[in-house]
Chains A and B, each alone.
Chain A
């Protein structure tokens, strides 16, 4: 076989351009160049078995993950599978309620109708006993004092507002416990 020719040829000229069409004369108004075509789709969502158990636990102010049958790691929120071995998780394990900040950022441009007033702290919180972190916001502390390793507790809605929803936890706030060394949080985000 002859030596491979590895020359990269330049793109043919005019590749990215589109010729202008010849158009019968149209009125004087600005021609249409964009259209707005919103799309809306409605679903009836089922969370599945594992997430259902998790949501029911939240209604009782419990954060429940599920343990990997092979390593014992507790995944929360659970999806019914251990992602490292692809086997079903069936053993429910309560974690937290307290946790440790494993990562955070300060949000200056909020998005979505439910975003808290900016700036606010968006964080990953490793619940005690869990292998992976939960997402939450951190309030009741000046932003400059938030740090990785900080100990926090969840703040729940009033008892008569509890439902099968992750929004039962409105935010997390610091508790008076010594920080956890960041090296101990490796692999748990």
Chain B
């Protein structure tokens, strides 16, 4: 494999808007999101419900609902801009370069096809393997995701599996086309806690074995701490803070990140659980200035009128907040 200098995935200024009522109502679900994912890296995407995490993921594979449109930005996978590809070329990318793990393991498998058939489908469809080698590959994939006695299991059907097993099988399907990027959209939300831990360990192992880039969408900060290398916190369609996972937990810089960290339940205290005040904003009618200011404890006059730009400091951390601007920028 040739060593490329460009990152595996580079998303730059991505804007995905939903157009409702004949274009009269525009919902800026993703509004200028930029990040990069390296091979073998786990990139976490966190934020409240409806802040644009899932829309970002769908934009990357270009499978948006008809009312949504990517209105700006670039999505480069291995140096190629995915937004320039034709529908046919894009289909080659899906499954072969990018794969996905979805939220609900109960619904992710077709009830009418045996496990073996479903795991084989991406590789078969993209013409990678046929016949005996394909069978062999499916068995290896099932073994890799710790399905006991894969030879027997691949003849069985989804309803004969537990939730954890099904989600592992979805993991095997994601691996089948040999992708370089896997998008995991809250893959453990519907699993119970012990199975979650097993599953996350398994994902990490698989990632180390195959060196894929992983985009991990979640709203569980505990999972972020366990899984991710870099974390981006999204609020109202924008990334408000992005830095290494260690930095995020030890030195959060954006007031929203701090508020999120404060609202993790802690064992052994009798204090009531902290909640970020207010509601997530209506994405079609964002407040002027910084969209977080109505809920921000440290909001200043400036926050109400001017939107803070995304600023990257020397160590590569980015924030969108007037509080963290370099001095000269604040006074400029």
Task: Please say whether chains A and B are actual partners in one complex.
Answer: no
Residues on B lying within 8 angstroms of A by beta carbon are none
Residues on A lying within 8 angstroms of B by beta carbon are none
